[in-house]
Structure 1
Amino acid sequence: MTSGLFARDRHGDADAEPGLVDFAVNVRGGPPPFVADALAGRIGDLATYPSADDERRAVDTIAAAHGRAYDEVLLLSGAAEGFELLPRLEPRHAALIQPSFTEPEIALRAAGVPITDVILSDPWELDSAAVPEDADLVVLGNPTNPTSVLHPASAIERLRRPGRLVVVDEAFADITLDPRTGHPEPESVAHRSRPDLIVIRSVTKTFGLAGLRAGYLLATPEVIGRVTVGRRPWPLGTLALTALTECVGPTGRDHAHREAGRIAEDRAEMVAMLSAAGIEVCGEPRASFVLIRLPQALRLKQRLREKGFAVRSAANFVGLDDDHVRLAVRDVDRTRTLVDTITAIREEIAGCPQPSQR
C-alpha cells in the first residue's frame, strides 16, 4: 500500500493540522444549529442503549426521502462501514472505477478479493466497455472523490450486467445541483430500487459531522441480508441515529439544497481565480472540492503548510500522481488568499529551482 503521502489509507485529515487554514478536508464547517440542538437534546439519553424507536425513526426518514421500502435501508456507522461490508457479498472479481476514494480498495484487498483498476483519463468519463465483463462487483463514486466529476445516471445504468452488483458511493450527492434547473441531486440513483444496485451515502460531509460517523446503505432486502450476517448489535449510537433523522428529514434536505447553492457559487469563484492565476483545474468539478494539477506540487504543498495552509495531495489515488492536489471549496475570501499564496510560492520556486539529485 506504500507509505507517507502515497499510502492508500492516508486521508485529508492527516494534513489539517491545528492552526492551518483547512483546504484539505471535504467537510463543511460544523453542524447547523437544528442538528446541534437535536444532538444536545439527547445527551441525557446516553446512559441507555440506542432504542429501537430511534432506529425506526431514522430508517423511516431515509426510506421516505428516497422513495424506498423500509427493508431497503441499512443504517451505517459512517459510509466507510458500507465498504467494509462489501466482502460479505463474496465477489469473485471486483472492478474499481479509478481515480476514486481508497477505502473500497482497502476493504476488498484485505479480504483477498481480486481487483481490477479501471483507470479513467481526464475528464474521467465513465465507459462501461472498459469494465471487465467477468467483474461481478463494480464500485464507483458519484460525484467522485477526488476528481469532483459527476457521472450521468444513465452511464451508471450501463454498468449493469447479469450476475453483477454495482456499488455507487454517493457521499457527496446531497450537495450536487443541476446547473440548468438548480434541482438537487440530478444524477443520484438512490431512489432506484434494483436487485443489482447498492448505494452508500453519508451525512457527515455536508452537515459537518465527520466526528460522529453516520451513513446508510440502500439495496434490496436480499443484499442487505447478505452483508449483515453476524453484524454486531447496536452498530449505531443514539447520537448517530438522531443525526440521520435530522439530516435526511425535510429540514435537513432543505439545508443541503441551500448548502449546494452556496458551494456552487463558491466553487465557480474558486475555479475562476485558479484559472486566472494560470493554475490548471482538472475536469468539470461538481462537488465540494476541486482537483488541480501543479508542477512540483509536493514541494508547493510543504511551502503552503509553512505559510499556514493545509491542502490535500492526490498522490495516493490510483490514476493520479504527485502533481495533483485536491482543494476543498471554501468562501471567496479564503480562496483568494490561498490562490495569492500559491502564486507567490510558484514565483519563489521558479526563482530558486530545486537542487538536482544525484
Structure 2
Amino acid sequence: MSAGSAGSARSSGSSGFDLRHHGDAEVRGADAALTDLAVNVRAGTPPEWLKARIAASLDGLAAYPDGRAAREAVAARHGLPAGRVLLTAGAAEAFVLLARALPTRRPVVVHPQFTEPESALRDAGHTVERVVLDERDGFRLTPGAVPEDADLVVIGNPTNPTSVLHPADALAELARPGRTLVVDEAFMDAVPGERESLAGRTDVPGLVVLRSLTKTWGLAGLRIGYVLAEPDTVTALERVQPLWPVSSPALVAAEACCTPSALAEAAYAADRMAADRAHLADRLAELAEVRVCGPAAGSFLLIRLPGAAAIRTRLRELGFAVRRGDTFPGLGPDWLRLAVRDPATTDRFVIALAKAVAESAD
C-alpha cells in the first residue's frame, strides 16, 4: 500500500509488512563500536540516581510486587484518580490487553505508526483495517479519514515513525459513543511541555492513553508503562492481566519517575532533544538527496532518499545503525528513521551518510 493512498485506502491483510520488526533488531548482536541511531531510547540513560533507586529495590525481591504506591504516583502526576490508572509491563503489554479485553467489531489502526498495536489485534483474532495517512499531507490526520462505525481506533501522538504531533483537539474529535479511542503517547514526554497530550483529559468518552517510561529514562529492559482510561476500561484490562504483571523494580522506577525532580529532569531533556533534533534536521538539509519529514516533534526523524536500503547497509559498514522504514504500512524501501543524538554524533553521522549517498550515485 502506498503512502499516497490517503485515508480511504484500507486493508485487512498484512500486505507483506513485517509488523514484528523493531529498531532493536538493527543493533542486536552488533559490534560495540556501532553507533545506534535505530533505537529511540534516549542516550546516556538511565541516570545514576534512577539506577540507584532500582538497585535498592532488589532487597525486597522476596515479597510479591505491590503496585499501589506507583499507581498513586502516576495518577498524581497526571491529576487523575488512581482508578483511572493501570500499570503494565511496558506500553506494548497494553496493546495486548486491549486486543484481548475489548469486544471490538471494527478495529482501525492509523498508519504509518508503531506496528505492535496491529500485530496484537491480529494475534487476538481481529480483522484489522488500516487508515494510511498521505505523505503529501505530511502524514497528518485528515477529517473523515477514520470510518464512522469503527469501534476501536489506534493512533500515535507524536507518531512513530513520522514524528508528527497531531493536535489534541483533532484527536479528541475522533471520539464517538461506543468507540474506544487509543492514543499512544509513548514519546509524549520528549515533547517540550507535553503539548497536545490527552493524558489528563477525562472529558473524552472512550479515551485510552498509553504511556511508556522506556524512551526518556532508558528502561526498555525493565518493561514499565501505564494506561490512563475510564475506570470500567481499566477494570476490563486488569482482568486479562496475569497476576503481579509488573516487577517490584519496575514499580519503584515508575514511582521515581513521577517525582517533581524527575519531571523537571524530563522537561529539560525534552528541550535538549528539540534542539538536538533541529541540529540533525539542519545537517540533513545539506544533502540534496535527503527529504526530511516535518515538522517533527519526537525523538527521531523520518527521512526519504533513493536507494535507502543499500545506503542503510553501507551506513552499517561505516559504523551507524539506522531503522529501516519499509516495515511500516504506508512507507516503503526509500524511508529510514533516525534517532536524535547529540550534535557531535549527528555531525559524524551526516559525514557517513554523505559518503554513503555519494557512493550509491557512482
Give SS of 1:244's match.
helix
- Alignment correspondent of 1:132: 147
Q: Which amino acid aligns with 2:106?
A: H
- Alignment correspondent of 1:149: 164
Residue 283 of structure 1: CA displacement?
2.3
Residue 32 of structure 1: CA displacement?
1.2
1:346 and 2:357 correspond: yes
Equivalent pair of 1:124/1:283 in contact (CA under 8 Å)? no
Residue 248 of structure 1: CA displacement?
2.0
Residue 128 of structure 1: CA displacement?
3.8
Q: Which amino acid aligns with 2:195?
A: P
Residue 251 of structure 1: CA displacement?
1.9
Q: Give the distance between the partners of 1:117 and 1:97, measured in 2 at CA.
A: 6
- Alignment correspondent of 2:277: 267
Equivalent pair of 1:128/1:159 in contact (CA under 8 Å)? no
- Alignment correspondent of 2:210: 200
- Alignment correspondent of 2:10: none
Residue 127 of structure 1: CA displacement?
2.0
- Alignment correspondent of 1:286: 297
Give SS of 1:292's match.
strand
- Alignment correspondent of 1:165: 180
Q: Which amino acid aligns with 2:301?
A: V
Give SS of 1:39's match.
helix
1:247 and 2:262 correspond: no
Q: Please point out which of 85, 91, 96 is paired with 2:104.
A: 91
After TM superposition, the structure 1 stretch with the greater mean CA deviation from structure 2, 247-256 or 324-333, is 247-256
Equivalent pair of 1:195/1:219 in contact (CA under 8 Å)? no
Residue 287 of structure 1: CA displacement?
0.6
Residue 125 of structure 1: CA displacement?
1.6
- Alignment correspondent of 2:230: 220
Q: Give the distance between the partners of 1:289 and 1:282, measured in 2 at CA.
A: 10
Residue 2 of structure 1: CA displacement?
7.5
1:77 and 2:86 correspond: no
1:56 and 2:71 correspond: no
1:28 and 2:39 correspond: no
Q: Which amino acid aligns with 2:345?
A: R
Q: Which amino acid aligns with 2:197?
A: S
Residue 249 of structure 1: CA displacement?
2.1
Q: Deviations over 1:50-83 (max 9, x none)?
A: 1x3xx11111111111111110000000000000
Equivalent pair of 1:2/1:8 in contact (CA under 8 Å)? no
Q: Which amino acid aligns with 1:249?
A: T
- Alignment correspondent of 1:233: 243
Equivalent pair of 2:109/2:154 in contact (CA under 8 Å)? yes
- Alignment correspondent of 1:113: 126
Q: Which amino acid aligns with 1:93?
A: R
Q: Deviations over 1:92-135 (max 9, x none)?
A: 00111110000000010111212211111121121241111110
Q: Which amino acid aligns with 1:142?
A: N
Give SS of 2:217's match.
coil
Residue 219 of structure 1: CA displacement?
0.5
Q: Deviations over 1:147-200 (max 9, x none)?
A: 0000000100111111111000000001102xxxxxx10100000014410001
Q: Give the direction of change, closer, same or farther, for the CA distance of 1:84–1:156 in structure 2 (3 Å limit).
A: same
Q: Give the distance between the partners of 2:47 and 2:141, measured in 1 at CA.
A: 35
Q: TM-score, normalised by structure 2?
A: 0.92
Residue 41 of structure 1: CA displacement?
1.1
Equivalent pair of 2:177/2:205 in contact (CA under 8 Å)? no
Unaligned runs of 5+ in 2: 1-13
Q: Give the direction of change, closer, same or farther, for the CA distance of 1:174–1:32 in structure 2 (3 Å limit).
A: same
Residue 252 of structure 1: CA displacement?
1.7
Give SS of 2:277's match.
helix
How many residues align structurally? 340
Equivalent pair of 1:62/1:249 in contact (CA under 8 Å)? no
Q: Which amino acid aligns with 2:263?
A: R
Q: CA RMSD in A?
A: 1.2
Equivalent pair of 2:26/2:38 in contact (CA under 8 Å)? yes
Q: Please point out which of 114, 135, 139 is paired with 1:101.
A: 114
Q: Which amino acid aligns with 2:326?
A: A
Q: Give the distance between the partners of 1:34 and 1:250, measured in 2 at CA.
A: 14
- Alignment correspondent of 1:181: none
After TM superposition, the structure 1 stretch with the greater mean CA deviation from structure 2, 323-332 or 223-232, is 223-232
Unaligned runs of 5+ in 1: 178-183, 352-358
Equivalent pair of 1:198/1:217 in contact (CA under 8 Å)? yes
Q: Which amino acid aligns with 2:237?
A: V
- Alignment correspondent of 1:190: 199
Q: Give the distance between the partners of 1:227 and 1:140, measured in 2 at CA.
A: 19
Q: Give the distance between the partners of 1:277 and 1:223, measured in 2 at CA.
A: 48
Residue 27 of structure 1: CA displacement?
0.2
Give SS of 1:167's match.
strand
Aligned-pair identity in percent equals 47
Residue 48 of structure 1: CA displacement?
2.4
Q: Give the distance between the partners of 1:146 and 1:47, measured in 2 at CA.
A: 40
Q: Give the distance between the partners of 1:234 and 1:90, measured in 2 at CA.
A: 24
Q: Give the direction of change, closer, same or farther, for the CA distance of 1:118–1:230 in structure 2 (3 Å limit).
A: closer
Give SS of 1:338's match.
helix
Q: Which amino acid aligns with 1:56?
A: R
